[in-house]
């Protein structure tokens, strides 16, 4: 799932070399922390958070298929 989030983020930003995603497990939830360049933060979040919500929706669909729970945190 980490590679899925990285692939989506790299397609959206101007500087794909600054995209980094890490996976952590908190209790029974997979937490994916996404870090991008400061200039690209707006592209990842989108207007009114629509892009971030869309990424979270895709992540939720994939994690549900694997019978897991995953959340995305966008780190500044």
32-65: per-residue pLDDT in tens? Answer: 999 999 999 999 999 999 999 999 999 999 999 9
Q: What is the mean pLDDT of the segment spanning 6-18?
A: 95
The answer to whether 16 and 34 have CB atoms below 8 angstroms apart is no
DSSP calls for 3-34: HHHHHHHHHHSS-GGG-EEEEEEETTEEEEEE
Q: What is the pLDDT of residues 20-31, one digit of tens each?
A: 999 999 888 999
- Residue 69's pLDDT band, with cuts at 50, 70 and 90, is very high
The topology under which CATH files domain 2-75 is GMP Synthetase; Chain A, domain 3 (3.30.300)
Q: Look at residue 76 in the predicted model and tell me its pLDDT.
A: 83
Whole-prediction pTM value?
A: 0.90
Domain edges within the chain:
2-75
Q: Look at residue 26 in the predicted model and tell me its pLDDT.
A: 87
Q: How many CB atoms lie within 10 A of CB 43?
A: 14
């Amino acid at each position: 799932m980490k590679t899925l989030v990285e692939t989506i983020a790299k397609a959206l930003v101007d500087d794909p070399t600054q995209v980094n995603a890490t996976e952590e497990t908190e209790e029974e939830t997979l937490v994916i922390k996404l870090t991008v360049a400061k200039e690209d933060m707006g592209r990842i979040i989108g207007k009114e958070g629509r892009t971030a919500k869309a990424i979270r929706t895709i992540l939720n669909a994939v994690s549900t298929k694997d019978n897991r729970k995953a959340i995305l945190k966008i780190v500044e």
